[in-house]
Chains A and B, each alone.
Chain A
Amino acid sequence: MTPADMVPVPYTWVLALSAFLFAIGVVGVLLRRNGIAIFLSLEIMLNSANLAFAAFAYRFAGRHATVAAALDGQIFIFFVIAVAAAEAAVGLALFIVLHRLKDSIDVDRANILRW
């Protein structure tokens, strides 16, 4: 499928989807107490930020016609995914330690600063 024979999607739709997903992620972070569920909501929020980057990369690819403008957004998404992987590794290790100490990953019970 070449770009010529498809009607392009408006980038504002992608931004709107990004806003919806971000709001859902905020609801999850604020209302859940299960640590894993809070982490999953964080991943949703990171992905909505990725969608916003993708929307603007898509938007500026056509107008400015510079390759760098479209590429920088995609490369930033790549870095965000890498940071999310690092964050998931460390965070899940923290939850394993928390579960070992408290027998629960309810974040309301993580109320000590030392063990």
Chain B
Amino acid sequence: MVTYVFLAAAAVAVIFAILAVVPRNPMTNVFSLVVLFFSMAAVFAILGMDFLAAIQVIVYSGAILVLFLFVIMLLNIREVEPFGSGRRWQAVIGTLVAGGIGALILVIAGLLLPEQGSVLPGVADIGTAAPIGKALLSTHLFAFEFITLLLVASIVGAVYLGKRGDR
């Protein structure tokens, strides 16, 4: 049962990842990415990571992609170029490189980890907010505080860049 749900989520993820890359209309790309992120949240939930599933929907679909939509509508971008237009060799080499990287990941994963067996159910409630929150505020406290500093710095940088006028 869970296996079928995973396969459905994976199929949706791959289809909408392609739809997020290929069509020339940026709005189509962004909304396909929303569906992709929802299916990835489903995969996280299947793996028992409830907190990450919620974060994926709230932060990615809710905040980051809204930022993308905002910029696309602000700049009034219509389609810029058809997919793969420009140089023919660029399209060929790009596809080959991407296929090679994907195949390489698959091969390395198969070589390093030959066991095909399924996973025993892990420790119960490993993916809920409570253990993750405890770890964030104890073991990983420095990294957690540092990421807040990074976010503040990036917001200040974005405001500075977006400011109109003489600099």
Contacts and interface: CB of A to CB of B under 8 A. Distances in A.
B97 A26 contact: yes
A6 B71 CA distance: 43
Contacts of A58: 47-49, 119, 122
Given A27-B94, A75-B132, A92 B68 contact: yes
Given A58-B119, A89-B67, A92-B68, A36 B77 contact: yes
* Interface of B: prevailing SS: helix
**How extensive is the interface on chain B, given as a class?**
35 or more
A18 B118 contact: no
B114 to A, nearest CB: 10
Contacts of B1: 6-7
Nearest to B79: A34
A113 B98 CA distance: 29
Contacts of A95: 71, 75
Given A51-B40, A59-B119, A70-B126, A106 B81 contact: yes
A39 B72 CA distance: 12
Given A40-B20, A59-B119, A86 B150 contact: yes
B33 A40 contact: yes
B150 to A, nearest CB: 5
Given A54-B52, A72-B135, 15 more contacts: A9-B46, A9-B119, A10-B118, A12-B109, A12-B113, A20-B17, A21-B14, A23-B99, A24-B98, A31-B91, A36-B26, A74-B126, A85-B154, A90-B161, A104-B80
25 contacts: A3-B124, A9-B47, A10-B116, A14-B43, A20-B14, A23-B102, A25-B17, A33-B80, A33-B85, A33-B86, A36-B77, A37-B80, A50-B40, A59-B113, A59-B119, A71-B131, A74-B49, A74-B51, A81-B56, A81-B60, A85-B59, A85-B64, A90-B157, A93-B158, A96-B161
